[in-house]
Amino acid sequence: MSDETRWITQAYGGYDMKDLPNEPDRELTSVAPGSPCGEYMRRFWHPVAMSEQLGGKPVAIRILGEDLVVFRDLSGQVGLVHRHCAHRRMSLEYGHIEQHGIRCAYHGWLYDVDGTILETPGEPEDSPICKKICLGAYPVHEYKGLVFAYMGPPALKPDFCHYDSFDIPDHELVPYSIHSPCNWLQESENSIDPFHSCFLHGRVNGPQFPGLEHFVELPVAEYLQIDYGFVYSHARRVGEHIMVRFHDHLTPNFAQNGGMFQKFSKPTFFGRPSLTKWVVPVDDTNSRKFGWRHFNDKDEVLRQGDKESVGWEKVDFYGQTAHRTYAEMQENPGDWEAWSSQGPINIHKREYLATTDKGVSMLRARLKKHIRNIDKVSVPSGTLEKPLHTYGGDTVLKIPKRLNDERELLSEIQVKIRDVYLKGDVYEGEDRVDFLKRTLAELSQ
Ligand SMILES: [Fe+2]
């Protein structure tokens, strides 16, 4: 078998597996400092911890292959510093949190949140150490229960990007975080694959999400590349309606989708996301999802779910965590099993990508392009006053069936809706929402 051969082509060909490629695509999956994907990832702000983790003790975390501690000092400032003391490398997870900064338990060196050394109590008073060296530290931004960090070159630090979905009127954002024992890309790819929903969440073991039973229908999907990633959508007919779900998938690792408990029984115009999330690499073989579930008591869809079941290692919809028995996982596997069981790092050369993998292929190609042209990468920018527009959510229109070419109709309708979404970009805030709702209502018959 030559190096090029990637698949078994004979029945009972298991023995030939030994000759298949077995190396992961390091360019897309290695995240350590200095690695191509690691350097690319470090150009963006990522959530690295939940505010609720920050109590009286420092918290040891690992992000992008770096061992760190995160803490809130007694003045309220959050610090994210390298885990090992700059002196003799005792872990600062055993450090003492002070009014300003964290003190190493070993010889009492005190570090401010920015890594500067404030005190070296065992050294002579005129010791130059405080002025001479620092502990590695990263800037942080705490927002709505998540602690974000920028771990890239200081000179290239972008402002923290505000998305419009962070501040939707009446939306309550409830933070959560879940670990997966696999490379970040496997989990992220799940969010740009609308076809798995038909099978994993529907046909194979029965519907997993109440309200989304009609996801068993194979959708028609449309993908649009935008500056910062993808807006993609998938459409299905539900009775006299066509439902179109839009997703934001912004590179490298941000995604949003529509209502978790959407029923689609009546027209909906520019429904907003119920989930905003990032898949953050812990290291090459572990990842941690951080995100917010959106709740809105005034909205039929967004008041569904259970806030109490959203938080550290938990979220209120099926199959997202490891916390089930093996028997339960086998009985009805969910998303978590799908991405985790591909192995610590999936071997792309052993896959056989097919029609349903268009999004995955586009994502990988786009990531590679960015990684190889890192100096041309544009980082999303959005401010509190002028946040970056996103499109994730559901639109449901009443559209009569078109006999013979219903799939073509599904394609046309979602492109029409998408065009309206993009036209709405000239407006901001409520003006934009009003424009979109009004214009989409005109499309519904
Ligand atoms: Fe899924």
Asked whether the predicted pLDDT for residue 2 surpasses 50, the reply is no
CA of 208 to the centre of ligand 1 (A): 10
CA dihedral of residues 178, 183, 185, 190 (deg, nearest 10): -50
What digits encode the pLDDT tens for the residues 224-254? 999 999 999 999 999 999 999 999 999 999 9
CA of 196 to the centre of ligand 1 (A): 6
- Please compute the mean of the pLDDT values over residues 358-382 and round it to a whole number: 96
Which two structure tokens, joined as six digits, stand for 405?
């070419």
Which two structure tokens, joined as six digits, stand for 96?
């003492």
Phi, psi (5° rounding) for residue 414? Answer: -70, -30
> Residue 230: enclosing H or E segment and its boundaries?
strand 229-238
What is the Cα 224 distance to its own chain's centre?
19
- Nearest Cα residue to 47 out of 277, 338, 299, 222: 277
CA of 335 to the centre of ligand 1 (A): 5
CA of 197 to the centre of ligand 1 (A): 5
Gap between the Cα atoms of 166 and 3, Å rounded: 48
Asked whether the predicted pLDDT for residue 262 surpasses 80, the reply is no
CA of 298 to the centre of ligand 1 (A): 26
In a domain, residue 28? The reply is no
Question: Total domain count for the chain?
Answer: 2
What digits encode the pLDDT tens for the residues 144-172? 999 999 999 999 999 999 999 999 999 99
CA of 228 to the centre of ligand 1 (A): 23
- Looking at residue 266, its pLDDT comes to 87
What digits encode the pLDDT tens for the residues 49-68? 999 999 999 999 999 999 99
- Looking at residue 4, its pLDDT comes to 55
- Nearest Cα residue to 36 out of 286, 376, 373, 380: 373
Q: Calculate ∠ Cα 419-423-428, nearest 5°.
A: 135
> Residue 119: enclosing H or E segment and its boundaries?
strand 117-119
* Residue 294 · residue 302 · CB < 8 Å: yes
What digits encode the pLDDT tens for the residues 311-351? 999 999 999 999 899 999 999 999 999 999 999 999 999 99
Asked whether residue 197 falls in the same domain as residue 128, the answer is no
Amino acid identity at 77: Q
CA of 199 to the centre of ligand 1 (A): 9
Question: How large is the angle between the packed helices 429-443 and 406-423, nearest 10 degrees?
Answer: 150
CA of 252 to the centre of ligand 1 (A): 19
Q: Where are the alpha helices (DSSP H) in 150-291?
A: 184-190, 196-198
Asked whether residue 148 falls in the same domain as residue 219, the answer is no
Asked whether residue 209 falls in the same domain as residue 148, the answer is no
Last residue within a domain, chosen from 130, 156, 182: 156
Asked whether residue 122 falls in the same domain as residue 255, the answer is no
CA of 289 to the centre of ligand 1 (A): 14
Which two structure tokens, joined as six digits, stand for 269?
């115009």
CA end-to-end distance (rounded Å), the chain: 58
Which two structure tokens, joined as six digits, stand for 3?
């190096």
Which two structure tokens, joined as six digits, stand for 243?
């439902």
Asked whether the predicted pLDDT for residue 193 surpasses 70, the reply is yes
Last residue within a domain, chosen from 136, 156, 176: 156
CATH assignment of the domain containing 182:
3.90.380
In a domain, residue 6? The reply is no
Asked whether the predicted pLDDT for residue 39 surpasses 80, the reply is yes
* Residue 200 · residue 342 · CB < 8 Å: no
Pairing outcome for strands 45-50 and 241-250 = unpaired
Beta strands in 65-153 (DSSP E): 66-72, 78-82, 96-97, 102-103, 110-111, 117-119, 137-138, 140-143, 146-150
Query: What residues contact 291, with CB distance under 8 A and at least 6 apart?
Result: 47, 175, 176, 177, 275, 276, 277, 278
Asked whether residue 134 falls in the same domain as residue 180, the answer is no
**For 432, what's the count of Cα atoms within 13 Å in the CB-facing half-sphere?**
20
Asked whether residue 151 falls in the same domain as residue 173, the answer is no
Asked whether residue 344 falls in the same domain as residue 218, the answer is yes
- Nearest Cα residue to 140 out of 151, 156, 129, 153: 151
CA of 318 to the centre of ligand 1 (A): 9
Asked whether residue 321 falls in the same domain as residue 404, the answer is yes
Last residue within a domain, chosen from 114, 138, 156: 156
CA of 137 to the centre of ligand 1 (A): 36
